[in-house]
Structure 1
Amino acid sequence: MTNHESTYLEGTLPKMTTSTHDLPIPKALLLDFGGVLVTSRRPDNWQRIVAETIVTLLDGHPQTPTVERITADVAAGALAAKSWRNAMSRPFAPAELSHESYVLDFIAADWPDAARRALQPHSAAICYAVNDAAEHRTLRDGSVELLRWAAQRQLPVVVVSNALSGAVHRDFLAAAKLTEFLTAELYSDELGIRKPNPQLLIQGAQAAGVPVSECWYVGDHLDRDVLCGTRAGVGVNVLMDDPAKSERPFSVPVTEDLAVADPAELLTILQSLWSDRPSLTSVEV
């Protein structure tokens, strides 16, 4: 058993900080994607959009279900996967669903064998379609300013996020012209592990070239993000509020070190900490 695992199982809680000036300066920021850099809302009829994409991908296969049946299966699959993800907040080191498992087990479990075989090669494209259509994403207040400020101070920033299709997140950040401010992007579907598996944050710290104990991790869920930060041993666990986040399914024996409303408030706190240390590196970006 690792030291981090032992600490968690003994029920030790992170110490609450009474003043932001008591917080250690981060040597890297590990940021969640949804709920931190972006917020999202669920569009109407997104399931039908995905169903029509599946019909197009199957290209007239004779055993393709009707678009109405596919729409219902996409909706049922999303609900079932949500329940699975909630359950996966309990194990210490959960794995991520593969694209193939999501499509064949959660959407097409009862399709004819020939249709399932035809669907299998398109699993990644279908997961992309689901992740893209199911959420309309917008940048949160202060996201751009936070990333620009971190780049000016040569503070590494790594995105570490659970994702059905990390490619959707990559494409969003690239379209927003924010990729240049990021040291790395790590997504659960690409690594095969999902938060609260501590390895996701440990690998994020490694990508930044900084010990995880000297990183700040920012997420929007207590049961996945703060729990993951506690298991990984991050320096500061930051819980960011997001009105669009899902309800916590069960209690967890952890609490955050710092709570903020949005990236703008986080930036204000970091700027305050930096103002006490004028000798820290700053470059023009």
Structure 2
Amino acid sequence: MDTDPLRHRPDALLLDFGGVVFQTRKRPEGRSDAARHLHEFLARAGHHVDPALLRGSLDAGLAALKDWKNAAGRRRAPAELDHRTIWTDFLASDLDDRARELLAGSAADLLADMSPLISEHEVRPGVRDLLAAAQTLGVRVGIVSNAHSGRSHRRILHEAGLEHRFGVQVYSDEVGIRKPHPEMIALAARALGTVPARCWYVGDTQDRDVVAGRRAGAGAVVLTRHHHTDHPPYPVREHADAVLDTPEGLVTPLLHSLPDEPAHRGDAPAAPGAVPAQAARQAPEAVEPATPLSGDPAEPGPAAARRVPGALLLDQGGVIAHSTATPDAQRDFARSLAARLDRVGYAATTDTVLSLVLAGRDRYRSWKAAHPSGGPIPEITPRRFWSDMVGRDLPSRARSFLLAESSELTLEYARSKSHAVMRSGVREVLEFCAERGIPVGIVSNTVCGRAVREELDRFGILHLVSAHVYSDELGLRKPDPATVRAATTALGVAAADCWFVGDKPWRDTAAARRAGVGVPVIVRGGSAADDQISSAQDGPAELRPAHVIDEMGELLGLWTEAPVPSGT
């Protein structure tokens, strides 16, 4: 582990705006001035609102926004509020409809006007020297900042004569995400022709900046103390590499940093989603993801196709289990639901409810078919399934009941649809993996992951599965590669070291290939007919499995000729 990340000269220096480039100070009269500005704006439209009322709305909205921002800092990938929402739901939420709509209609302009009214901005000590040092060394510089108005920040930079010093400015309101989302930093790094591992990131908050820097894999994370640096809203586990009183303290380390020789290309990142310290010294192109997100994936070589996997990923239906429809159980479910609806005052027969459920199922299938497979592929929520698909034509009362009970209804519905029997060879494969320390994950499109877990428990194999990724819980469906990546992240393995066994080439193999799985396998006897599997074997590389097997136990024959990895 590198004990001095600041020893290595970065390709790029990424700076927060407030607290790093500028120190901010609230103007005592700022909010009153802002309220008067809003009063004049509304008055020009013929709508007169008392400035005191506007000031009270601003005070309440800004307090609520502060709480929202603190909460967003705990999220893994927080989105930014759009400008309209800031006005309608926060700053003007208690004003009348007309005022709220007038303000929302000019949301971006008003936010840009308000920033300099509420706060004063002064360039922090050492910033100009730091930017000059970066220019001398050929280190590119960018801004990465959470902001309600990037437009205002750009204007302030221009007025300070610093605009030309920055190659890129990334503001949360302009890109739609906010720190600690690591993509804020990754986006700036890409724009400057490098990767986070070869950047220093400088912020002023522990909960947003330090966490964002660590999640992005920045080469070094530095704090310059400002208002909230030493008083985060909650405990933060991550720590900065250096904490300085002002940016001036970074000038000397930058000037004394040493340029690096390009590292060997064999020094690959050790874990998916993160760049370890030893990989941080690579040339930028060497640490870009090797797996394409689209197009034809690379074919596995013979060595990749015959070896014990680093992890085994399995689909559930058609792979772990065969299922048979149970119409009698479905009818019992419909009878029970009709009785519950009757208890809340909506009369329905068993036949009526069964027709509604089957119609909802057909609408759900049409909804799935309408989503192209080229981008994110969403999964429907239980609330939407029961309220909008099953209950689409029902009165509001019945739909409200279905929505409120949607979680339990989904479980009961899943239990009633079919009866599952475990496929031969599954237990032997899972026990083989357990004996050798090979982690196993389930990656399944399903209406109810909770029901799948019950099924695995009934088979007596739940304890042999380490990770569960179900579409209803993740919110995405295969062939979206995010489903597979969620499993590899959970298991702590690289996708290239995994085998993935599914029964549908167009869904399972495609998801595996897109995620960079080393060896995709298709097992016959599931949803895909033999001619569909044969077509996939001769078709596009994305759908082409490395192996086709008849039963799960054949995996053991593919593995046993290969040596077991050391340490297992």
Report matched runs for 1:50-69 at 5 Å.
Answer: 50-58=333-341, 60-69=343-352
**CA distance, structure 1, for counterparts of residue 307 and residue 554 of structure 2:** 17
After superposition, give the CA deviation of every residue in 1:42-92 in whole Å (9 maximum; x if it has no partner).
123444223123224436122242221111111122222223334446242
Tell me if the contact between 1:218 and 1:237 (Cα under 8 Å) persists in the aligned partners: yes
The letter of the residue matching 1:74 is V
Report matched runs for 1:184-195 at 5 Å.
Answer: 184-195=467-478
The letter of the residue matching 1:256 is P
Q: Secondary structure at the match of 2:560?
A: helix
Q: Which residue of 2 is the match for residue 232 of structure 1?
A: 515
Q: Which residue of 2 is the match for residue 15 of structure 1?
A: 299
RMSD: 2.7
How far has the Cα of 1:24 moved from its partner? 4.1
**CA distance, structure 2, for counterparts of residue 16 and residue 214 of structure 1:** 11
1:204 to 487, 508, 511: 487
Q: Which residue of 2 is the match for residue 71 of structure 1?
A: 354
How far has the Cα of 1:265 moved from its partner? 1.2
Q: Compute the TM-score of the two structures, normalised by the length of structure 1.
A: 0.86
Q: In the alignment, does 2:564 pair up with 1:263?
A: no
Bigger Cα displacement from structure 2, 58-67 vs 161-170: 58-67
Tell me if the contact between 1:47 and 1:75 (Cα under 8 Å) persists in the aligned partners: no
Report matched runs for 1:1-285 at 5 Å.
Answer: 6=292, 8=294, 10=295, 12=296, 14-15=298-299, 22-58=305-341, 60-88=343-371, 90-245=373-528, 253=540, 254-273=543-562, 277=563, 280-282=566-568
Q: Secondary structure at the match of 1:138?
A: strand
**CA distance, structure 2, for counterparts of residue 136 and residue 68 of structure 1:** 22
How far has the Cα of 1:121 moved from its partner? 1.3
* Residues 1:34 and 1:239: Cα distance change in structure 2 (over 3 Å): same
* Residues 1:22 and 1:179: Cα distance change in structure 2 (over 3 Å): closer
The letter of the residue matching 2:393 is D
After superposition, give the CA deviation of every residue in 1:136-185 in whole Å (9 maximum; x if it has no partner).
10000101111111000000001111110000000111122212111111
How far has the Cα of 1:256 moved from its partner? 0.9
Q: Compute the TM-score of the two structures, normalised by the length of structure 2.
A: 0.45
| Consecutive unaligned residues in structure 2, runs of 5 or more | 1-189, 191-287
How far has the Cα of 1:222 moved from its partner? 1.0
Q: Secondary structure at the match of 1:263?
A: coil
How far has the Cα of 1:95 moved from its partner? 1.2
After superposition, give the CA deviation of every residue in 1:89-125 in whole Å (9 maximum; x if it has no partner).
6242211100011111221101111111122111011
Tell me if the contact between 2:503 and 2:527 (Cα under 8 Å) persists in the aligned partners: no
**CA distance, structure 1, for counterparts of residue 321 and residue 477 of structure 2:** 19
Tell me if the contact between 2:442 and 2:469 (Cα under 8 Å) persists in the aligned partners: yes
**CA distance, structure 2, for counterparts of residue 195 and residue 152 of structure 1:** 29
How far has the Cα of 1:202 moved from its partner? 0.6
| Consecutive unaligned residues in structure 1, runs of 5 or more | none
How far has the Cα of 1:14 moved from its partner? 4.9
Q: Secondary structure at the match of 2:553?
A: helix
Tell me if the contact between 2:439 and 2:491 (Cα under 8 Å) persists in the aligned partners: yes
**CA distance, structure 2, for counterparts of residue 174 and residue 116 of structure 1:** 33
The letter of the residue matching 2:545 is E
* Residues 1:191 and 1:64: Cα distance change in structure 2 (over 3 Å): farther
* Residues 1:115 and 1:7: Cα distance change in structure 2 (over 3 Å): closer
Give the paired residue count. 275
